[in-house]
Chains A and B, each alone.
Chain A
């Protein structure tokens, strides 16, 4: 009998199932046990053990027929942002307390159709607005990694903090995440896991609670690059229910993983060398550059001149879209409705419901969005930000046209920080977490975070690779080369 089945990667489990070394039910039960023992991480916030076992048994039956997709029988966690039929889907918010969808998001449906086993729903920042999982109605998710013997609780990053913590702690084989400004890649970097945000339009957004529709993309969070390739393929594809989903064939991303990057041109953008960047991030970036050079890639210095303006543009565009998307939470059709006083009318109902249902960060962003869209400011803020976005995308188009195949950057400006450490900081300091990732969303490009080393305190650090649109296969292959060269195998010591 195989042991520690919850520690398997997707590819290991897939292959073991085909060798009949184990069963989907056994792997699923190992994960369910690991989840029950990991309450301290607060990663799974709605557990679905009965559903999981039923799906695992169905998967075993399908596997026995000898013709099953890669994801068949593999237990995964689903971010709470995905609507799942008959299972609570709250987007980490009080305003969706008690909401049980009558429908299934396209991405989670695709995974289910392939036979993947949902273990439950994962913690996240409220409406995916946050970089530390501290804005969640469920409370903080906790990073399984610690600074050596220091017991300080660290953030797993955000907004897909529960997904990252669950994958890093082997509570599931992989998880779904979503990424609007870095919400897959920053938590992956903070937890020593792999996270890819595909090209905008690769995965359907249908049934995923909307934050900023022109930026939101779903993607897998996994233990290895190979797993990211396997799971991304299962999540991708055209969906008539999302008008922005691309009508393009989905390649076999795993087949692209040769590890051969000889002759590829890797760009190093000088604008990502930030003032005050920690030495260890700088050193990691240099090592990444050397690893890719040693693997036969050509390294070139490039310029993305509008990088500095990406975060400010993002903090106009994302709140503007959020203020519009979140207008639907009005206490009428679903979720929370405030108790009303005698004589309260519909306006009081809206105002009280939204004040009670939205946490402080969500309220702040909805109001900023309302402000930048309001009469007199629309041109000065919103239209200006959309023009700057055009320039940011043009920066990338220029370097790709000059022959750059992929761009290498740090994934985050620091390792995981302590929960509560940013409590007194102004909101902008928290926003700086996404400084290396947010450009990718604004330009609609694919980006991947790969674990590449540990800092002095023993915390994982990640590198980011940015690819050409629709070329996730080549991007994953470049990441695969970095993964192999870095040889990152560290796991958090179990304390939970």
Chain B
């Protein structure tokens, strides 16, 4: 596995952006260091011979069951909205999305 590039502050910033977590500029170098420690630990996986091995999809061999395509729940908008930070007229309210 030849991805052993060390993470720098700008990569850390990109990851934080992808994860939608605001990280202050000043905190990025320390975050990058932590990533490098953890990724350094993970790098050991490169030693394992994985030729011809299937990636695990399900830990217990089972087929996902199908259920009848019928409405089994619903019509409880009040309950669905009851924990919303901002709900109006039966909808979740958010800041403007489209300019």
Chain A residues close to B by CB (< 8 Å): 98-102, 199-201, 214, 240, 243-244, 246-247, 306, 308-309, 311-313, 315-316, 323, 327, 330-337, 340, 344-352, 354-355, 358, 363-364, 366-368, 370-372, 374, 376-377, 380-381, 383-391, 393, 426-428, 431, 442-444, 469
Contacts and interface: CB of A to CB of B under 8 A. Distances in A.
B85 A331 contact: yes
Contacts of B79: 102
B76 to A, nearest CB: 8
B83 A334 contact: yes
B5 to A, nearest CB: 10
Given A371-B35, A469-B60, A332 B20 contact: no
B15 A102 contact: no
Interface in B38-60: 38-39, 41-48, 50, 53-60
Given A335-B83, A336-B85, A386-B55, A364 B50 contact: no
B55 A354 contact: no
Nearest to B43: A312
Interface string B74-89: 0010011011111000
A354 B38 contact: no
Contact of B42 (A316, A344, A390): A316
Given A99-B83, A333-B84, A380 B34 contact: no
Given A246-B60, A388-B45, A427 B37 contact: yes
Interface string B20-36: 11110000000100110
A308 B18 contact: no
Contact of B53 (A330, A351, A390): A390
B82 A312 contact: no
Given A331-B85, A390-B55, A309 B45 contact: yes
B71 interface: no
A311 B38 CA distance: 11
B34 A309 contact: no
A462 B76 CA distance: 47
B3 A377 contact: yes
A374 B45 contact: no
- 9 tightest A-B CB contacts, nearest first: A444-B59, A386-B55, A337-B85, A334-B83, A351-B22, A355-B22, A102-B79, A387-B50, A350-B20
Contacts of A348: 22, 95
B21 A315 contact: no
Contacts of A334: 83-85
Contacts of A363: 19, 21, 23
Given A345-B96, A387-B54, 11 more contacts: A102-B80, A333-B83, A345-B97, A351-B20, A354-B21, A366-B19, A374-B18, A381-B3, A383-B55, A384-B50, A443-B59
A186 B22 CA distance: 33
A380 B1 contact: yes
B67 A240 contact: yes
A331 B92 CA distance: 10
Interface residues on B, range: 35 or more
Contacts of A346: 94-97
A190 B20 CA distance: 36
Given A306-B48, A312-B45, A243 B64 contact: yes
Nearest to B84: A333
Contact of A386 (B7, B56, B67): B56
A316 B43 CA distance: 10
Most chain A beta-carbon neighbours within 10 Å: one of B21, B41, B43: B21
Contacts of B56: 214, 386-387, 389-390, 393
Nearest to A340: B95
A130 B79 CA distance: 32
Contacts of B60: 199-201, 244, 246, 444, 469
Contacts of B46: 384
B55 A387 contact: yes
22 contacts: A102-B79, A200-B59, A201-B62, A240-B67, A247-B65, A308-B44, A312-B42, A312-B44, A316-B45, A337-B85, A348-B95, A349-B94, A350-B20, A351-B20, A354-B20, A354-B21, A358-B21, A364-B38, A371-B7, A384-B48, A386-B57, A387-B53
A345 B95 contact: yes
B15 to A, nearest CB: 5
B22 A352 contact: yes
Contacts of B9: none
Contacts of A384: 1, 45-46, 48, 50
A141 B62 CA distance: 38
Nearest to B20: A350
A57 to B, nearest CB: 28
A323 B94 contact: no
B60 to A, nearest CB: 5
Nearest to A313: B45
A344 B41 CA distance: 38
Contacts of B97: 345-346
Contacts of B34: 364, 426-427
A368 B40 CA distance: 12
Contacts of B48: 306, 309, 384, 387-388, 391
B3 A367 contact: no
